[in-house]
Amino acid sequence: MRISRAIAAALVAVTTLTGCGVQAPVEEKNSIVVYAGRSEELVRPLIDQFEEETGISVEVRYAGSAELAAQLLEEGKNSPADVFFAQDAGALGAIAKAGLLTKLPSEIYDLVPTSYSAADGSWVGVSGRVRVLNYNPETVTQLPASVYDLADPSWKGRIGIAPTNASFQAFVTAMRVLDGDEKTLVWLEAMKQNAVLFEKNGAILEAVEAGQIDAGLINHYYWFARAQEVGLENMKSALGQFRASDAGNLINAAGVGILKDSTAARKFVEYLLSETGQAYFAEETREYPLVEGVKMVDDLTPLSEIPAPNVDLSDLDTLDQTLELIRQAGLI
Amino acid sequence: MQKPPVALIAMGVFAALASLVPLGYLLIRLGSGFDKALAELSRPRTFELLGNTLLLTVSVTITAIVIGLFQAWLVTRSNLPFAGFFAVLGTLPLAIPSYVLALSYTSMFSWFSGFFASWITLSLATAPYVFLGVSAALVRVDTSQEEVARSLGLSRFRVFTKVTWPQIKTAATASGLLVALYTLSEFGAVSILRYDTFTRAIYNAYRGSFDRTAAASLAVVLVLLTLIALYFERRVRNRYLSVEASGRRNLVELGNWKVLAMTMFGVLGLFGAGFPIAALTGWAFVGSSRSTWGELLSALGSSLSLALLAGVVIGIFATAVALWNVRYGSRFSSLIETTVWSSHALPAIVVGLALVFVGANLTPWIYQTVWLLVFAYLILFLPNALSVIATPMGQVSRGQEQVARSLGLSQVGAIFKLVIPVATPGILAGMALASLTVLKELPATLLLRPNEVDTLATKLWSATETLSYAQAAPYALALIIIAGVPALALNAQARKLASEVR
- Residue A201 confidence (pLDDT): 87
pLDDT over 50 at A185, yes or no: yes
Residues A218-235, mean pLDDT to the nearest whole number: 88
pLDDT at residue number B248:
53
Determine which of B451, B464, B468 to mutate to test the interface with A (most A C-beta atoms within 10 Å): B451
Cross-chain Cβ contact A74/B208 below 8 Å: no
Q: Write down the pLDDT at residue A18.
A: 46
**Region A240-259 average pLDDT:** 93
Q: Check B207 against A71: CB less than 8 A apart.
A: no
Confidence band of A72 (pLDDT split at 50, 70, 90): very high
State whether A63 and B110 contact (CB < 8 Å): no
B286 in contact with chain A, both atoms CB, cutoff 8 A = yes
How does pLDDT run across B249-291, given as a tens digit for each residue? 667 777 788 888 888 889 998 888 888 888 888 877 765 556 6
The pLDDT, as a whole number, for residue A64 is: 85
Mutate to test the interface with B, among A71, A82, A326 (most CBs of B within 10 A): A71
* Cβ contact A199–B45 (<8 Å): no
Print burial letters for B280-310: b (CB count within 10 Å at least 16), e (below 16). Answer: beebbeebebebeeebbeebbebbbebbebb
**A57 strand-pairing partners:** A31
Per the CB < 8 Å rule, is A66 touching B206? yes
A198 interaction partners in chain B (CB closer than 8 Å):
194
β-pairing, A31-36 with A57-62?
Answer: parallel
- Could A332 and B204 be called an inter-chain contact, meaning their C-beta atoms sit closer than 8 Å? yes
Contact A39 B462 (CB under 8 A): yes
Closest-CA residue to A119 (of A111, A109, A127)? A109
CB contact under 8 A, B210 and A69: yes
Q: What is the pLDDT of residues B194-248, one digit of tens each?
A: 888 999 888 888 876 677 888 889 999 999 999 999 888 888 776 555 455 555 5
What are the two backbone dihedrals, phi and then psi, of residue A61, each rounded to the nearest 5 degrees? -115, 115
Res A19 pLDDT > 60: no
pLDDT of residue B288: 57
**Bridging pattern class, strands A215-219 and A83-86:** unpaired
What average pLDDT score do residues A172-181 get? 94
B14 interface with A at CB cutoff 8 Å: no
Q: What is the pLDDT of residue A114?
A: 87
Please check whether residue A73 touches B, CB under 8 A: yes
Query: Closest-CA residue in chain A for B203?
Result: A67
The sign of the dihedral angle between the CA atoms of A245, A246, A247, A252 is negative
> What pTM value is reported for the model?
0.86
In angstroms, what separates the C-alpha of A8 from chain B's closest C-alpha? 17
> Is A321 in the B-facing interface, judged by CB distances under 8 Å?
no
At residue A261, the pLDDT reads 94
Given this model, what pLDDT does residue A16 score? 47
- pLDDT given for residue B466 in this prediction: 67
DSSP for residue B396: S
pLDDT score for A281 = 86
> How far off is chain A from B300, nearest CA to CA, in Å?
17
**Is the Cβ of A60 closer than 8 Å to some Cβ of chain B?**
yes
Interface of A with B in 170-189 (CB under 8 A): none
Taking an 8 Å cut-off on Cβ atoms, the answer to whether A70 and B353 are in contact is yes
What is the pLDDT at residue A2? 46
Closest Cα to residue B20, out of B426, B300, B444, B378? B378
Confidence (pLDDT) at B345: 87
Q: Which of B210, B462, B467 sits opposite A70 (nearest CB)?
A: B210
Q: How far is Cα B174 from Cα B232, in angstroms, rounded to an integer?
A: 11
Partner A contacted by B466 (CB < 8 A): yes
Size of interface A-B (CB pairs under 8 A): 112
The residues of chain B scoring below 50 in pLDDT are: 242
Inform me whether the C-beta atom of residue A198 falls under 8 Å from chain B C-beta atoms: yes
Mean predicted lDDT score pLDDT of chain A: 87
Does the pLDDT at position A249 exceed 90? Answer: yes
**Is B209 an interface residue toward A (CB < 8 Å)?**
yes
Which residue on chain B is closest to A33 by alpha carbon?
A: B451
Contacts with B289 from chain A: Cβ below 8 Å: 229
A228–chain B Cβ distance below 8 A for any pair: yes
Three-state secondary structure readout of chain A: CHHHHHHHHHHHHHHHHHHHCCCCCCCCCCEEEEEECCCHHHHHHHHHHHHHHHCCEEEEEECCHHHHHHHHHHHHHHCCCCEEEECCHHHHHHHHHCCCCCCCCHHHHCCCCHHHCCCCCCEEEEEEEEEEEEECCCCCCCCCCCHHHHHCHHHCCCEEECCCCHHHHHHHHHHHHHHCHHHHHHHHHHHHHHEEECCCHHHHHHHHHCCCCCEEEEEHHHHHHHHHHHCHHHCCCEEECCCCCCHHHCEEEEEEEECCCCHHHHHHHHHHCCHHHHHHHHHHHCCEECCCCCCCCCCCCCHHHCCCCCCCHHHCCCHHHHHHHHHHCCCC
What number is the average pLDDT over the span A206-234? 90
